């Protein structure tokens, strides 16, 4: 009798949830950065323990959330510097 026991880990669900939160709140870096980092960490841990695909998806969404946040922060900084430079010329 060949039984396949499927192990489950809460790390995958937590990683995916935190990764989605990181993407949704990417305009707010103080929410997106911690949730993205924790999503990546729990995704790695869940993949190592169980090897689930949900953990990998959570890790990917965490990386995407951090990337979006980084791009938005660079754009915000460029807008601020441009406004400051145009203010100083007049």
Model pLDDT for residues 18-49, shown as the tens digit of each residue: 999 999 999 999 999 999 999 999 999 998 88
3 is a domain residue: no
Average pLDDT over every residue of 8-16:
89
Number of alpha helices (DSSP H) and beta strands (DSSP E) in the chain: 3, 0
By residue range, what is the domain housing residue 59? 10-89
In total, how many domains does the chain have?
A: 1
32 is a domain residue: yes
Average pLDDT over every residue of 71-81:
94
18 is a domain residue: yes
CA distance 19 to 27: 14
CA 33 to the chain's CA centroid = 7
pLDDT tens, position by position, 42-68: 999 998 888 888 999 999 999 999 999
Global pTM reads: 0.83
Flag whether pLDDT at 5 surpasses 70: no
């Amino acid at each position: 009798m060949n039984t396949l026991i499927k192990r489950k880990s809460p790390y995958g669900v937590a990683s995916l949830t935190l990764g989605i939160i990181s993407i949704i709140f990417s305009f707010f870096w103080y929410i997106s950065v911690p949730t993205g980092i924790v999503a990546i960490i729990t995704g790695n841990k869940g993949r190592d323990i169980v090897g689930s695909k949900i953990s990998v998806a959570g890790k990917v969404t965490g990386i995407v959330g951090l990337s979006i946040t980084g791009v938005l922060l660079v754009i915000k900084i460029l807008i601020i510097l441009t406004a400051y430079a145009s203010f100083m010329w007049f």
